[in-house]
Structure 1
Amino acid sequence: MLHHSMNPQIRKGLEASQRCHNLCVQALIDYTLENENKGRAPQPGLMRLLMDCEEVCSMTSGFLLRGSHFHDRACQLCSMICKACAEGCVEAGNMADCLHACLRCAEACDQMVEAMIVCRE
């Protein structure tokens, strides 16, 4: 599937997943450096969540770009992990950009999954 001929809802999901990926990577870097500078150990659970989120967003973007028949499954997983990452961002504090990107990505993925379910009925 070519990016310029994409369904607007798919394009929104693609843009949201790419943005979320980028902001999770940046949040992970910032979080690690901040803790290092303060002499604290970063929370492994939060670091794993950020890594999981950036990875699933990257994977989902690929599924959407190539029009994979499995992109609905990728979107379901992406939404679930983005929501968990958003909760982690809230608990950690000072991660507003990542938090909002995760919530937007989860919402876009949920909307795509709902639209696919309606189309199949």
Structure 2
Amino acid sequence: MHLDSKIQQCVENCLRCYSVCLSTALNHCLEVGGEHTKPQHFRLMMACAEICRTSAHFMLIGSRHHPHVCRECAEICSECAADCERIGDMGECVDACRKCAETCRQMAAA
């Protein structure tokens, strides 16, 4: 199966966001502590990583359910980007979340 270029880009953005959120949470946040490890923020990062992984999976297998999974992914990524920006010192995570949210919104609208 050949993925169309918009789907391929979205898959790549989702997998990058998954990787960045997970590694930032488990390395940077756990080391820094404070606001970075408050339950609400940490859970949001874990949820973001997982929905990104799931969205990529749904697109890769060609599931007809991918648009609404991507819609939820865009919402969670936007929330995660805002929270990471609020806390600060998490620019890579903010950027990855915003890119993922943008392409997931396009998938949800398709």
Report the TM-score when normalising by structure 1.
0.85
Q: Report the CA distance between 1:111 and its aligned residue.
A: 1.3
Aligned residue identity for 1:44:
P
* Number of the residue aligned with 2:98: 103
Structure 2 residue runs of 5 or longer lacking an equivalent are: none
| 1:43 paired to 2:44 | no
Q: Residue 66 of structure 1 aligns with which residue?
A: 61
Identity fraction in percent: 32
Q: CA deviation at 1:43?
A: 1.0
C-alpha RMSD over aligned residues:
1.1
Match of 1:21 in 2: 18
Count residues in correspondence.
108
Which residue of 74, 78, 83 corresponds with 2:73? 78
Q: Which amino acid aligns with 1:94?
A: D
How far did residue 24 of structure 1 move? 0.2
Select the structure of larger CA radius of gyration. 1
**Residue ranges of structure 1 left out of the alignment (5+ in a row):** 117-121
TM-score by length of 2: 0.94
Runs of 4+ that moved beyond 3 A: none
How far off its partner does 1:7 sit? 0.4
Structure 1 CA distance for aligned equivalents of residues 101 and 71 of structure 2: 9
Q: For residues 85 and 14 of structure 1, what CA distance do their matches in structure 2 show?
A: 18
**Secondary structure of the residue that 2:89 maps to in structure 1?**
coil
Q: Could you tell me how far apart the structure 1 residues matched to 2:52 and 2:68 are?
A: 13
In the alignment, the residues of structure 1 paired with residue 78 and residue 51 of structure 2 have an alpha-carbon distance, to the nearest angstrom, of 12
Correspondence for 2:5 among 8, 19, 36: 8
Secondary structure of the residue aligned to 1:31 is helix
- Residue by residue over 1:62-99, the C-alpha shift from the partner in whole angstroms, topping out at 9 and shown as x without a partner, is 10100001000110000000000001111110100000
Distance in 2 (CA, whole Å) between partners of 1:105 and 1:88 is: 15
